[in-house]
Chain A
Amino acid sequence: MNGYAGKILRVNLTHRKITTIPTRKYEPWVGGHGMGSAIFFDLVKDKTIDGFDPANVITLMTSPLAGTLTPAGAARTEMQGIGVQSVPIGWFTRSNFGGRFSSMLKYAGWDGIVLEGRADEPVWLDIRNREVKIRNCSKLALWGTDTWECQQRIWRYVAGEKVYGDWLEPAGADGGQTTQRPAVLATGPAGENLSRVACLIHDAGSGAGQGGFGAVWGSKRLKAVSVIGTGSIRVNNPKALMQARLWQKQNYAFKMDNLKRRFMSVDFQSPPIPGTLYRRGKPNTGKRPQACVGCHSGCRGRYEDGLGNESTCFTTIFYLFADSLDIQRQASDLLNRYGLNAAEMLWGELYLADLQRSGIIGPGMEIDCPLNFENYGQPAFAEQLVKMIAYRNDGLGNSHPFGDDLAEGFVRAAQKWGRLDGEYGDLKTGRLRFPCWGLPQHKEPRSQLDWAYGTILGDRDINEHGFDQLRSNPSYNKRWGIPLYGSAEEVVRIYTDKMVPFQGDRLMLDFSAGNMYSEHIAKLVTWHRYYTRFWKQSAQFCDWRWPDFLNLYGPGKVGSTGVAEPKFLHAVTGKNFTFLDGIELGRKIWNLDHAIWTLQGRHRDMVHFADFLYTQPSSSLDGTPEYMPGRENGKWQYIKTLGRHFEKDKFEEFKTRFYELQGWETNSGYPMESTLKSLGLDSVAHELGQNGKLGKG
């Protein structure tokens, strides 16, 4: 099996039993998310269990491309299972992280890990090639450590008498050698204390942030998984893989002697510049770009003062009003060390500051809050906030219900405080920016429709940037004068030409108010669901670099997407698998996921945004306008997309269009038998039927 290690590791923590699943059993799903969903479906008989139930199965899946020379496609790990963060219930969900973990897992001889049960005491998993041990945390005193200390203790333990920098034989003299440190994924104090907003951290800043999986691990009493491997991944055609990599480098990657942009962008052509969003700019210190395994363009940094190593995106926006850049960088480190979801913490912290300014929270006030706002802007404030959520106390080591409330997530906390009730509830006014499933906002939903619809029709903030350049490029052009990638019409043509099987439907990218609920936008969302479910989350091309729609280095600005993805998959595996095959398999995976949500209790009536999206005009965090492609008076332009809101009735109409496109029953959203059977999901249809959740038609 070229590209595969051949086995999936199955670990039952309750019985401390280690078994294997042959990868071939799930090979039709290719890898990653598809495999994870299929394994979850097979192993979890009762899909209605809570995320904290020991029967919840967590999968960590690699892909056949992991650990290979595929650019920005060799380093992602897809984690799935029932989460604990979303509202009203924890959906079957996913999180994904980069770094070295997936490649190291493959070198150790595993295509993935399946975690079940709950250990009788805190444990960690020690994987050294095919040798796997469930070890108690007590020996290394791991339970209670932050994610960074935990990893370094494990590093030292695995090295034994040796030191890193020399060849190590981590699995003994016959097990091969490596110079590398183990790749460790760890939960922090937040996860240990079952905070629903706890994440998992690998190395300094690779985080599996969404779903509250840090807490799920905490509930399983699993502190960390460590893996080190010395084996080989077989490649179908080594020469073709090298040629493909150099083809990609020469034709589509940034050129230092011909830089088209001097800043980081979320696409393939971006130069290697850290994707930090600190309010006061980039750290003015010595640094390097830092990349995941195999990536052509690193998006993180490591710094001369060591602050904020490998932090990007939301982690670097948290504590927006810190008194200095360095304090904000320290705050980002706190999130990584204690293991907290950065988006939740960003919006949650701003919400608390707002409530404090309004005299609602504080010592002895309407909501008794022990946070010391006199320290606002200083490191002490961020530390107290992070610790109170991680330890469920006042952040200073004393018992207090406020930290306990916040550890349940900000929406659940607000609900407990009564702040969601009445005409001016915080999700009605938008004071609490958690628009979908009780989860924090990312892109402006009333503006970036692919993002909003993908999220509410799914399970989590999609965090998929495939169309983000359609907003960021024209918006930054207006704001800072950076050159446009092209006219709206040109850009729309280049993008939509690649969107098989809907290619050529230009109206898929018309973001004007008149097109917000159209069948064209339903196609856009459909294509995005299918592309990402397979090519991003199963084959595991990185979200920040793929798809490569528009590329300023490409011929006629046309990027490599559609050609590149199957080229790499073929070079590694030998599979004759077209781009459209991937879209089709993505459709199957999307349907499987939807079936699982349906079994969990999903019904059309539950699928709605928080009220503020229907009543409040959209706005950006800093008040600047956003522009996206759209038609005005029949002409393509970059149009303003802020200041509008969704209409409830029209969104209902949109849902009907979307469900019809999927082959789901329109009045319930339940999948129809014919749809599932046409996808080869007969057993899924059977289980839905047994539970009375099969759509009619």
Chain B
Amino acid sequence: MNDTHHKKTTGSDNGVSRRYFLRVAGTVTLGIGVGGYAGVKEALPKIVKLADGRSGLPVSGGYLLVDEKKCQGCMSCMLACSLVNEGVENPSLSRIQIIQNSFEKWPADLTIEQCRQCVDPNCVNACPEDALKVDGKFGNVRRVVDIDKCIGCGACVEACPYTPSRPIMMPDEKYGGDLKARKCELCADAPYHWDPEGGGPNGKQACVEVCPVGAIQFTAEVPQQEGDTGYKVNLRDSKWSAMGYPRR
């Protein structure tokens, strides 16, 4: 197959690595509040300082974890995402992307690319207009808090170290077709949210709720930032294997 995916999933090359490869010990210093760090016992502050001494941003109150070996490729998460956030059905507007090649062998036939709500979010840092911020109102999720300010420059897209870029840039009919940035906000303040309680880290996320097989999970614990293992996890249990699927 010549059409295999080419990913820069970990952002481990070029200049971004120093900023992104946080280590659990040493690189993060105490701020305020207490959070958890997936897989480690130590409490993690909600405001972090980075190893290079820069002031950190508060960590997000929530993250999406996915299981690429479990996903059934129905793209319902993409349809729900676009529906709840944009009021239309359009996979190109989905903040989570399922990418498949039906001729490939499992598990290389499918990848799930979701926003990581990075502890040190390049997209937020890159936004020249303060349109994209850490939003304390919604559990410090990294979000486009002021779409009016977005000038469609694409800096957030360029800054994202992952492929495909998690911020997406699409023409917006409400702005006369001008390019506007969108990104995963864990459905915080989603204009078409179905639940009266709404979304965000303390609410419901469309992709998690709709996934028929439980291949997307919400966690309030900060995933391992280095590499993919913190975000691409094993959600297969005995119930899954009871249907004839492997847990490995």
Contact = CB atoms under 8 A, between A and B. Distances in A.
Interface of A: 67-69, 74, 107, 148, 151-152, 155-156, 159, 163-167, 176-181, 203-205, 230-235, 238-239, 241-243, 245-246, 249, 253, 256-257, 259, 262, 271-273, 282, 286-298, 302-306, 309-310
B165 A165 contact: no
Q: Which of A155, A232, A272 gathers the greatest number of chain B CB atoms within 10 Å?
A: A232
6 contacts: A152-B2, A233-B88, A235-B88, A243-B194, A256-B213, A303-B105
Interface string B151-173: 00000000000011100111100
B243 A273 contact: yes
A273 B239 CA distance: 13
B5 A163 contact: yes
- Chain B: interface secondary structure? loop
B1 A230 contact: no
B1 A152 contact: yes
Contacts of A303: 105-106
B104 A306 contact: yes
Contact of B206 (A156, A230, A235, A242): A242
A179 B206 CA distance: 20
Given A232-B89, A241-B83, A302-B109, A257 B74 contact: no
A478 B110 CA distance: 40
A164 B101 contact: yes
Given A163-B5, A286-B107, A288-B107, A204 B102 contact: yes
A539 to B, nearest CB: 16
B72 interface: yes
A669 B138 CA distance: 67
A298 B72 contact: yes
B168 A69 contact: no
A241 B83 CA distance: 9
Nearest to B177: A174
Contacts, number: 203
Interface in B70-84: 70-76, 79-80, 82-84
B165 A289 contact: no
B133 interface: no
A245 B99 contact: no
Interface in B141-191: 163-165, 168-171
B54 interface: no
B93 interface: yes
A246 B194 contact: yes
Contacts of B243: 256, 259, 262, 271-273
B194 A294 contact: no
Nearest to B210: A245
Contact of A166 (B80, B92, B164, B193): B164
Nearest to B8: A166
Contact of B212 (A179, A239, A286, A296): A296
Interface string B83-122: 1101111111100010111111111011101000000000
B244 interface: yes
B102 A272 contact: no
Given A286-B246, A302-B109, A235 B89 contact: yes
A233 B89 contact: yes
A46 B24 CA distance: 76
A272 B88 contact: no
A154 to B, nearest CB: 10
A238 B83 contact: yes
Contacts of A290: 72-73, 102
A235 B83 contact: yes
Contacts of B213: 256, 272, 289
A297 B88 CA distance: 23
B13 to A, nearest CB: 15
B164 A179 contact: yes
Closest 8 CB pairs of A and B: A165-B5, A291-B74, A232-B88, A238-B192, A232-B90, A306-B105, A242-B194, A203-B102
B6 A166 contact: yes
Contact of B239 (A176, A256, A291, A304): A256
Nearest to A174: B171
Contact of B163 (A166, A249, A297): A166
Contact of A232 (B6, B86, B113): B86
Contacts of B86: 232
B3 interface: yes
Q: Which of A166, A181, A259 gathers the greatest number of chain B CB atoms within 10 Å?
A: A166
Interface string B40-70: 0000000000000000000000000000011
A68 B97 contact: no
A164 B99 contact: yes
B240 A256 contact: yes
Contacts of A234: 88
A294 B101 contact: no
B99 A180 contact: yes
Given A246-B194, A286-B107, A178 B171 contact: no
A406 B244 CA distance: 38
B137 interface: no
A200 to B, nearest CB: 15
A665 to B, nearest CB: 46
